[in-house]
Amino acid sequence: MSDYPPLPDEGTAYRDKKVSKRTLRAARRSLALALQPGEEVQGFFVSWRIRRSISLLVVTDRRLLTLGDPSAGLPVVDDVPRSVVTELQVERVKTFSMGRVTALTDDGPVGLGTLDYTPETFNGLDEAWARSDGPRLPVIPTLGRPGAEPPPADEPVPPEGGRHPLVAELESVARLHRSGALTDGEFAAAKARLLGR
């Protein structure tokens, strides 16, 4: 048993299957020092980045954190307050077995590493992100499927003013499906998530 007790809300946090018990113990030690009073963990995801070594993406109710190399004790590498994030994106890369996570802020994008891109991981990130008290922000895969064509530039995009946000999100997901960026299964899952809110 670890000297560090479970983190706040860890029992109900989403944990990527690839986060080992050993990594979780190390994350407890690191986050025991990094979490603010009352801050709750909502998700753990195995993540990696080449230039600045990271191994874990942690979603809390207040921040997005990346933790560094396990041999260095999983120090906090990136610390992005949720309040400054305007959009969270997951961009599929290469073979679609990976997804690059980027938090868009007013100060520019912050790369949070690359996750194994599976429906379970995608849904887990979406669920962890949606558990905040603030506005729910979409996690939408961007175009990247080999052979997928981007939506035509002249395709009319209806104005957002006066429309319910759910309608805009459903139309956005439908456009991604029509362009080939989402498979039929991914489209059905995204639509079910939106309608299930």
Higher pLDDT, 133 or 116: 116
Q: What is the mean pLDDT of the chain?
A: 76
Helix (H, G, I), strand (E, B) or coil at 39: coil
Average pLDDT of 21-29? 87
Average pLDDT of 108-124? 83
Per-residue model confidence (pLDDT) at position 196:
66
Residue 30 contacts residue 58 (beta carbons within 8 Å): no
Name the phi and psi angles at 95, rounded to 5: -85, 5
Q: Locate tokens 């230039």: which residue?
A: 51
Q: Which helix (H) or strand (E) holds 76?
A: strand 76-81
Residue 75 has pLDDT above 50, yes or no: yes
Average pLDDT of 61-68? 91
Domain boundaries, the chain: 10-131, 165-195
pLDDT band at residue 92 under the 50/70/90 scheme: confident
Per-residue model confidence (pLDDT) at position 182:
76
Q: Locate tokens 């560094």: which residue?
A: 68
pLDDT tens digit sequence for 126-173: 888 887 655 444 444 444 444 444 444 444 444 444 445 667 677 777
How far apart are alpha carbons 51 and 58 in whole angstroms? Answer: 19
> Which CATH architecture does the domain made up of 10-131 adopt?
Roll (2.30)
Residue 78 has pLDDT above 80, yes or no: yes
What's the distance, Cα to Cα, between the start and end of the chain in Å?
38
pLDDT band at residue 57 under the 50/70/90 scheme: very high
